[in-house]
Chains A and B, each alone.
Chain A
């Protein structure tokens, strides 16, 4: 009984202290908000997770830009949870009073709308990448929604296919490993492969199989494909590098590594190393370092009035970025500038990698 009383009592005390503390805290928070308006804006990066190499590099790019520009930078991670992603951004908008620039890779397509609406309402400037609904356009949220950036999956799928065909001498059989069937990237990259196949009638697609973006699944799948087609397989097209590297290990187990060229997309380190040793013919990358930094740079320059989004042409508002091809010819150069050292990017060249407006 005595225990109980003291417990209740401590509850009351702590509640009162909490209330007082909260009031004081709010007062403090309210004061600097006025001051902050004249302060430099905060740069905010919103990405899916840090558990994949792609977004890990994205973050280093963002930090590199923030350092170059001398601005504060915050990274928000949604962990694949759309609601968390949006809530974190709203919390950040409240904290900065809208004085921020957001570069976001929305977790899912529909997320882009609430993110953009919240930013526009708070007066923040936002750049989105990869995912947005077809009917959401930067021009509808002038000037806050500055740009949307994507990379052309059809072009990537086609480019690597053409290099693969050239490597195997323009004729013979290949197998293809696709990504998760329902994803846009998987569908687009396969379209690119199909287009390249149509233009090269001497190349035969022996089989198209799906390994769901994963090296483990590609490893097992490749063993089975080797049984079915054996030496007829002259090359392997993979919709991403992770699957390509799984296929490479399956080849290695059969002493075929380096004899059957592989191509992939993403430019992960394993793949770049494999391009160096000749086990991969090539890989293409959207360059997450550039995406992480330049998304912020475009938003920040709009925010400080270096350019007016309203006056920019449509291909600066919704555009495909230029993917970087890493093949035998440039891999040593790429390794020196991107793997051994941090890449040097001209952050003033905002539109240098625009390849055209996004198809609708």
Chain B
């Protein structure tokens, strides 16, 4: 009897595994399991680049690579902040609100065509501080009032947006401070300064994630908050710090956006939230938290940017571009998430 039960059990195990989880699981095992999966976003990026380059050799021109880097600068800085929040298993919807507040502060305090202020780089500092403060408040609201991050940051989004509308009087204010505009217009080693700032933001985020206690605690909270708490992590403090950190990165990207566009209006952040979330998830960071990181996000941002660039280079009609983008997102996530281990899909 005992001899028969053993094989029977394993057969029913296989039956429970559906085709969809079984096949990719097998392929993944053949190529080295989890290692291969974590490299999937990079593979997607490389395949995408090769395909576009074959179709239109202009793609690998130096000028285009510089442009790619330039259009990735703002999304990358934003996504760096968002990565920490998503790693915790939370979400920060205040991206657009915080960005617009930072852009509003920098424009109104530096030389502009709306008022007489001219505080130069103090304006940049103030904008970053404003962004950090917004994130700090989000963190406080979430932990102290015990409001889910989704609602807390949704509120902060609208508060930020409303504040910008009010301060800017509904119109677009031009940024006339030449040294701040140089962030977008001056080049160092062939790349606009904004790209260097974004690179700096990436390095800073990488150091925080891989070499500080904060980074490890954020991952631990995302993995399992109860376990983290029992192991002595001060969850409240880590959460507030993480939200403030995210606000800091949003503040920097607000300054970059204002420098690039040479103006600020309340809706300067429109559409950035979804772009940032998409980049983080496509890069392989799980929305459930605890898995992924800033390096994944870098690749995710590049995939999204290259895709947008490629669709123009390939001359894909604007009427179907969004559809193509949607398909690519599903494909990238399907390849990179280890769905075999997912017991439930919500």
Contacts and interface: CB of A to CB of B under 8 A. Distances in A.
A253 B63 CA distance: 12
Given A181-B318, A228-B58, A269 B171 contact: yes
A249 B270 CA distance: 18
A217 B271 contact: yes
Contacts of B170: 49-53, 55-56
A219 B70 CA distance: 11
Contacts of B113: 269
A227 B58 contact: yes
A174 to B, nearest CB: 15
Interface in B50-98: 56, 58-59, 61, 63-64, 67, 70-71
Interface stretch (A143-151, A197-205, A208-216): A208-216
B172 A269 contact: yes
A224 to B, nearest CB: 4
Given A215-B261, A249-B260, A270 B312 contact: no
B125 interface: no
B108 to A, nearest CB: 15
B192 A224 contact: no
A179 B71 CA distance: 21
Interface string B266-297: 11101110000000000000000000000000
A64 to B, nearest CB: 17
A227 B308 contact: no
Contacts of A53: 170-172
A241 B162 CA distance: 23
B275 to A, nearest CB: 10
A118 interface: no
Interface string B15-35: 000000000000000000000
Interface string B143-174: 00000000000000000000001000111101
A273 B309 CA distance: 30
Majority-rule SS of B interface residues: helix
A228 B319 contact: no
Contact of B312 (A216, A219, A228): A228
A166 B313 CA distance: 28
B261 A219 contact: yes
Interface in B235-269: 257, 260-263, 266-268
27 contacts: A50-B165, A51-B267, A52-B171, A56-B170, A56-B171, A181-B319, A207-B312, A209-B312, A209-B318, A210-B318, A214-B270, A214-B271, A219-B260, A219-B261, A224-B71, A224-B308, A224-B309, A224-B312, A226-B67, A227-B58, A227-B309, A227-B312, A228-B312, A246-B261, A252-B262, A253-B70, A269-B113
Interface of A: 49-53, 55-56, 178, 181, 207-210, 212, 214-217, 219-221, 223-228, 230, 242, 245-246, 249, 252-253, 268-270, 273
Given A223-B67, A252-B185, 18 more contacts: A51-B170, A51-B267, A53-B170, A212-B271, A214-B270, A214-B271, A223-B309, A225-B312, A226-B67, A228-B312, A228-B313, A246-B261, A252-B262, A253-B192, A253-B260, A269-B172, A270-B174, A273-B174
